[in-house]
């Protein structure tokens, strides 16, 4: 067999590693690409068995071009992280169809390491971390088996790899605890096109209702001190002030406004907020591909990596493409009066004419009093409208059709209609897109907000109070803000329609407790992973004092030196020669004495043959050499005689030579 050709055990481990590294990418790469993986693995097995031949280079080129085009079509021409990963997986798979010798297999192994690491771009959970350790062991076994012959047991490389992992564990722990690390690559700022999930920068009737079909986690919140009541948990994400008659959008220049702030109180609210300590809380956000940052009421303290907009919402510097953690502080129970008055609050000319006419009539009946007028609108909703997850479509003038025809809607319908009625009489109003409520986890004391908690309400400018939060949904369905969305919508067919296998569908009490306990474990893991850099810095300060860098280098060098010394001692002890038997030790001394006399023992010469040769050189001691050969052979090979007798005989021969 060609020594550079792949053996069957090496091929088996390679194909197993390929299958394992692709499993975490299910749902991240097109399904047909996974089907192609199965075809390539089967094709390579048939090639090894001699049933198929390697494809011609033209076939490989056509496969590469066709599948690359298929990936671009699958991602609709968007070049992002998932597109790049899919292209890398494609090249990884096609390399199988030309893998013949060891150098080709090495390239596949190195690509397997890279693809396994790319899975961390999308998930850093406990199960995946354990799974990746198994994958790492399998890939390393494939690498080890590439350099072994075909007659080697297929499981032997695995035991060798596991032993190497055990030997590397002490050094790994030292490096993990003491060596400062750069930010992991899965938290780098990748450029990506559109949002992946969550709220959008524009809202039309029914858009928010679609999010109730998903149980994806939006963020998790942990509070310092008392947890706010359910009715206070309004998470402001974006304010939408531009209205085209149907759809609300972010104002022009939204991303270019505001200033970056540090962790202290900001803006005109600083003096007011010092009177009462803000509510401090911590958020762990899931990736959305957008820059909005949910917060309670008006945030007054936040990290320097965030910006506060003129509308009081927070914004990230870059799109949120990986899970991130932030510490915030907000003052609940306050209006937003310190925020500036809007410059433009007009309606598009001719849009929703029936709504505008009705608003002017209701305004007159309310004696042009904004508070009375707003109360009349909310009373109208309470008396004549209904709340539903399945509102009828509104193809035309959406607000007119909702107010006068269907009178059924979700939170976005009520918020949009109220804002239009307010603007129709000159009261500035804007939509707020965010989340309301959340699910409390008692095992770790945190709140989980999911996509089905998405909510829309509005803020109206009502002098002298300034901006005032108004939630018309509370007027028609107060249970929406008093209970969690999961409790409210549990029996609705549209709820979690896009998540048929979600654990949120579990109805048994013990199953629900099991789910929450598992989520609590994952939450603790996520906080530990996200906070490890800060924990490591704190560990350095506690252990090393002010001069952290130089002392960290010295401590790391010392510990690594100790570990290397222990490994060296173990290796030296392991490779130390086996102590000689006392008889052999005595015979070695005899050989040394004879070598000085010009009679060295040849390497291929047995003791009996050596003694026969000595009889020829020392005929006067012939009987002695004969007895030595006979007694040595009986003792070493038949077990007859004693060690003392043989040693005495050898020493007697050595003294007679002297």
Name the residues annotated as catalytic.
411, 455, 471
CA distances from 332 to 223, 278, 584, 641 (A): 13, 8, 89, 97
Name the packing angle between helices 8-22 and 126-146 (round to 10°): 160
The CA distance from 628 to 273, in Å, is: 103
Which of 241, 261, 243, 237 shows the shortest CA–CA distance to 251? Answer: 241
Q: Specify the length of the chain in residues.
A: 658
Q: How many CB atoms lie within 10 A of CB 260?
A: 13
The CA distance from 239 to 429, in Å, is: 10
3-state secondary structure of 51: coil
Give the β-pairing of 386-387 and 408-409.
parallel
Q: CB within 8 A of 481, min separation 6: which ones?
A: 230, 231, 436, 437, 471, 473, 474
Contacts within 8 Å (CB) and 24+ apart, 259-266: 259/307, 259/308, 260/304, 260/305, 260/306, 260/307, 260/317, 261/302, 261/304, 261/306, 261/307, 261/308, 262/304, 263/301, 263/302, 263/303, 263/304, 263/327, 264/301, 265/300, 265/301, 266/300, 266/301, 266/308
The torsion defined by the Cα of 6, 10, 13 and 19, in degrees rounded to 10, comes to 0
Nearest 5°: phi and psi at 377? Answer: -65, -45
Cβ pair 236, 434 in contact under 8 A: yes
Give the β-pairing of 429-436 and 298-301.
unpaired
The CA distance from 631 to 649, in Å, is: 9
CA distances from 271 to 261, 265, 275, 337 (A): 16, 9, 7, 13
The CA distance from 435 to 455, in Å, is: 5
Q: CB within 8 A of 72, min separation 6: which ones?
A: 83
Cβ pair 376, 418 in contact under 8 A: no
Q: CB within 8 A of 546, min separation 6: which ones?
A: none
**Alpha-helix residue ranges (DSSP H) falling in 97-236:** 102-118, 126-146, 156-178, 207-210
The CA distance from 631 to 627, in Å, is: 6
Q: CB within 8 A of 656, min separation 6: which ones?
A: 621, 624
Per the listing, tokens 């959406």 go with 398
SS (H, E, C) 556-567: HHHHHHHHHHHH
The torsion defined by the Cα of 335, 337, 339 and 344, in degrees rounded to 10, comes to 110
The CA distance from 16 to 10, in Å, is: 10
């Amino acid at each position: 067999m060609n020594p550079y050709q792949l053996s069957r055990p090496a091929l088996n481990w390679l194909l197993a590693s390929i299958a394992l590294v692709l499993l975490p990418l299910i749902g991240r790469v097109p399904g047909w690409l996974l089907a192609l993986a199965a075809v390539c693995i089967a094709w390579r097995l048939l090639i090894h068995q001699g049933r198929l031949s390697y494809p011609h280079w033209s076939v490989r080129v056509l496969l590469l071009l066709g599948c690359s085009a298929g990936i671009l079509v699958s991602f609709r021409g968007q070049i992002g992280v998932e597109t790049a990963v899919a292209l890398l997986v494609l090249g990884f798979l096609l390399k199988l169809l030309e893998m013949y010798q060891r150098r080709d297999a090495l390239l596949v192994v190195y690509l397997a390491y890279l693809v396994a690491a790319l899975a961390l771009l999308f998930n850093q959970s406990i199960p995946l971390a354990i799974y990746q350790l198994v994958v790492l062991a399998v890939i390393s076994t494939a690498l080890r088996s590439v350099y072994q012959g075909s007659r080697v047991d297929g499981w032997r490389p695995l035991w060798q790899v596991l032993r190497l992992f055990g030997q590397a564990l002490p050094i790994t722990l030292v490096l993990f605890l003491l060596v400062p690390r750069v930010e992991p690559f899965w938290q780098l700022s990748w450029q990506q096109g559109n949002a992946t999930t969550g709220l959008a920068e524009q809202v039309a009737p029914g858009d928010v209702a679609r999010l109730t079909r998903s149980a994806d986690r939006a963020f998790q919140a942990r509070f310092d001190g008392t947890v706010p009541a359910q009715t206070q948990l309004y998470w402001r994400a974006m304010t939408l002030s531009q209205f085209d008659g149907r759809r609300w959008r972010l104002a022009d220049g939204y991303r270019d406004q505001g200033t970056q702030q540090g962790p202290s109180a900001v803006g005109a609210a600083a003096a007011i907020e010092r009177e009462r300590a803000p509510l401090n809380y911590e958020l762990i956000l899931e990736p959305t591909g957008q820059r909005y940052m949910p917060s309670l009421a008006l945030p007054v303290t936040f990290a320097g990596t965030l910006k506060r907009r003129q509308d009081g919402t927070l914004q990230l510097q870059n799109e949120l493409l990986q899970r991130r953690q932030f510490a915030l502080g907000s003052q609940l129970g306050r209006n937003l009066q310190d925020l500036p008055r809007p410059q433009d609050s007009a309606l598009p000319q001719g849009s929703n004419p029936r709504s505008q006419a009705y608003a002017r009539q209701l305004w007159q009946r309310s004696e042009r009093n904004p508070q009375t007028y707003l109360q009349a609108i909310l009373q109208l909703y309470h008396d004549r409208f209904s709340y539903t997850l399945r509102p009828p479509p509104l193809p035309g003038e959406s607000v007119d059709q909702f107010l006068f025809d269907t009178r059924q809607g979700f939170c976005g319908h009520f918020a949009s209609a109220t804002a239009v009625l307010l603007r129709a009489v000159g009261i500035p109003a804007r939509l707020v897109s965010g989340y309301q409520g959340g699910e409390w986890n008692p095992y770790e004391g945190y709140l989980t907000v999911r996509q089905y908690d998405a909510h829309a309400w509005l803020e109206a400018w009502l002098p002298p109070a300034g901006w005032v939060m108004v939630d018309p949904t509370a007027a028609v369905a107060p249970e929406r803000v008093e209970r969690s969305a999961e409790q409210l919508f549990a029996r609705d067919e549209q709820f979690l329609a896009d998540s048929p296998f979600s654990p949120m569908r579990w109805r048994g009490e013990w199953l629900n407790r099991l789910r929450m306990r598992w989520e609590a474990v994952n939450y603790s893991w996520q906080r530990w992973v996200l906070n490890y850099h800060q924990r490591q810095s704190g560990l350095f300060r506690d252990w090393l004092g002010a001069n952290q860098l130089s002392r960290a280098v010295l401590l790391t060098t010392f510990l690594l030196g100790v570990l290397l010394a222990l490994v060296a001692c173990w290796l030296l002890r392991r490779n130390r020669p086996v102590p000689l038997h006392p008889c052999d030790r005595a015979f070695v001394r005899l050989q040394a004495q004879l070598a000085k006399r010009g009679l060295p023992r040849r390497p291929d010469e047995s003791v009996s043959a050596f003694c026969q040769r000595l009889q020829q050189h020392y005929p006067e001691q012939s009987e002695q050499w004969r007895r030595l050969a006979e007694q040595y052979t009986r003792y070493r090979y038949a077990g007859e005689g004693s060690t003392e007798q043989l040693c005495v005989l050898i020493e007697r021969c050595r003294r007679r030579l002297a």
